[in-house]
Amino acid sequence: MVANIITGLMGVLSLKIFLMMNIGVLAGMVFGSIPGLTVLMAIVLLLPLTFGMDALSGMMVLLGAYCGGNYAGSIPAILMNTPGTPAAAATLIEGYQLTKKGKARKALEMALYASVIAGLISCFSLLIVAPLIAKVAIEFGPAEFFSLALFGLCIIVSLSAKNLVKGLISGVIGIYISMIGIDPIMGIPRLSFGSYDMMAGISLVPALVGIFSISEVMAMCEKFFLSHFIQDETENLTDEQIYGEGLTKQDKRSCRKTIIKSSFIGVLVGAIPGTGAILATFTAYDEAKRTSKTPEEFGHGCLEGVSATEAANNGLTGATLIPMMTLGIPGDIVTAVMMGALIMHGLPVGPALFTDHAALTYSIIIGLFIVNLFMLIQAKYYIKVFSKVRRINRKLFVSLLLLFCVIGAFSVNSSIFDVYVMLAFGLMGYVFTKFDIPLAPIILALVLGPLAETSLRRALIISRGSYLIFVTKPLSLVFILISVASLVMSLSKQNKKYTKLSVEEGIHEQE
């Protein structure tokens, strides 16, 4: 392992890679610091740019955007009471109160300090845990891979949807779309209408750009139409009033324990597919409040609260890569996109990464450490600049987003067909969002669908058509049982909600 780490380190020690990391961090920070734009959108739009690069440079750009965007979501949360990313929702509880007290600089620096420490802890956990899981996963056969893909899909469906049926609808449609093109086992064209473009299948990037960016642009236009563009509440305040004094050694010391504890919460939550940053940040916030010496300060501008939420948020960054890199199961949508990037660079996702491409894999992991350090440098020196990004002209920005969406979709295969695909998915994403149908399952299904189908059919060929192969293999059985359990638990959660409602109604009627 030490040899692999050294090889990995040698791989990233180049000016070109450092430049790519910084570009990624910068792009992530710009997107993260603008409310309404997400880390995911930054990564989706950067993804096509990485095709012309080698795999390591491409991944460094994306990981830079991931880390930078995750941190930068705290900037508008602290300064504007508006989370730049959904994960920063917990940060605004304390962060904005600190801004109102004239301590924004303290809050911003604490968010950065916590984010970097958590990011490094998360990388370390990835470095230690991932190779161990990969060692076990290398023994997997088609039956295990099918069960694993099923597990990934079920867990995302059950956790991302408020309504399980809607989550299932999204997932099933996603798998169906992933089947367009040439059949992976027998080579027969499916659902292609005789078109060569369709025979190549639906490319992941146009689908991603459409579902997340075009639908978001449409939502922005709707907000504009309804005059809901977010106003900067701190616009009339001077920089002196907003920023105040910086973080002291005493501040850092008082929050150190909280940061480390919250980082591990982030790592644990992140390593479980489908859980997400919001769960991690609010759990860390509650835990910090519960164990704080001054819990009464929470809610009134407490630095410890900011450190807890931001540490948990960035503690996820490395941990979400664990299931993706070792098992080929993305922990969330962002890692699903990164998985797509690895696939497009011709790399096998899953345990084979650690055996067939060990040098590259370790370079990516070591690179993630360095990305966090670059994030520290960029944010420290340009924090005021990033905080002004929020004042960007939104009207111009919307049209530029459209331009990047079109170029991004086109650049995958230099095909205008991909632009049409992107637009079709954009409409689908917008309509799905309107009806509260989650988008995560459809993307996960697009990524995992081919793996699930190929593994299922290969397993059935091995077993001569017997489905018992999935329950006679112990690991496969375990994954199937967890998948079923996740769906049953989701149903039971909905049932509890219903029962609670009925009881409340009963009380209401008696009154």
Partner 1 sequence: MACLIDEPLYGENTVKSYTEKTIVGFGTLVTGSIMYFLSSTQIKEVDKYVGMAPQDMPLVLSKVTIGLAIIMFLEAFFTFKKAQKTGQFQEEEIHFYGFPFMIYGIMWVYALLLGGIGYFISSIICLSLVVYLLKEKAIKNYFVLCGVIAVVYIAFGIGLNIPLGRLGILF
Q: In angstroms, what is the minimal distance from the CB of 231 to partner 1?
A: 16
Q: In angstroms, what is the minimal distance from the CB of 219 to partner 1?
A: 7
Shorter beta-carbon distance to partner 1: residue 191 or 385: 191
- Identify the CA nearest to 210 among candidates 417, 425, 44: 425
Of 173-212, binders to partner 1 (CB under 8 A) are: 173, 175-176, 179, 183, 185-186, 188-193
In order, the DSSP letters of 229-287 are PPP-TTTTS-HHHHH-S---HHHHHHHHHHHHHHHHHHHHHHHSTT--HHHHHHHHHHH
Structure tokens, 469: 């192969």
Q: Does 16 bind partner 1 (CB under 8 A)?
A: no
- Size of interface with partner 1, in residues (CB under 8 A): 79
Structure tokens, 59: 């991944």
Q: Which of 132, 246, 248, 498 binds partner 1 (CB under 8 A)?
A: 498
Residue span 224-243 as binding mask against partner 1, x where in contact by CB under 8 A, dash where not: xxx-----------------
Which span (33-41, 83-91, 108-116, 392-400) binds partner 1, by CB under 8 A? Answer: 392-400
Distance between CA atoms of residues 483 and 478, nearest Å: 9
* Residue 235 burial by Cβ neighbours in a 10 Å radius (0-12, 13-18, 19+): exposed
- Identify the CA nearest to 39 among candidates 216, 263, 187: 216
Distance between CA atoms of residues 375 and 415, nearest Å: 35
Residue span 68-97 as binding mask against partner 1, x where in contact by CB under 8 A, dash where not: ------------------------------
Distance between CA atoms of residues 89 and 73, nearest Å: 9
Q: Does 464 bind partner 1 (CB under 8 A)?
A: yes
Shorter beta-carbon distance to partner 1: residue 198 or 477: 198
Q: In angstroms, what is the minimal distance from the CB of 444 to partner 1?
A: 15
Q: Which of 395, 484, 489, 506 binds partner 1 (CB under 8 A)?
A: 395
Distance between CA atoms of residues 451 and 462, nearest Å: 16
Q: b or e along 481-505 (b: 16 or more beta carbons within 10 Å of the residue's beta carbon)?
A: ebbeebbeebeeeeeeeeeeeeeee
Residue span 399-438 as binding mask against partner 1, x where in contact by CB under 8 A, dash where not: xx-xxx-xx--xx--x-x--xx--x--xx--x---xxxx-
Shorter beta-carbon distance to partner 1: residue 87 or 421: 421
Q: Does 381 bind partner 1 (CB under 8 A)?
A: no
* Residue 397 burial by Cβ neighbours in a 10 Å radius (0-12, 13-18, 19+): middle
Residue whose pair of structure tokens reads 């995958």 in the numeric block: 412
Q: Which of 16, 101, 128, 222 binds partner 1 (CB under 8 A)?
A: 222
Q: In angstroms, what is the minimal distance from the CB of 52 to partner 1?
A: 5
Q: Which of 2, 52, 139, 293 binds partner 1 (CB under 8 A)?
A: 52
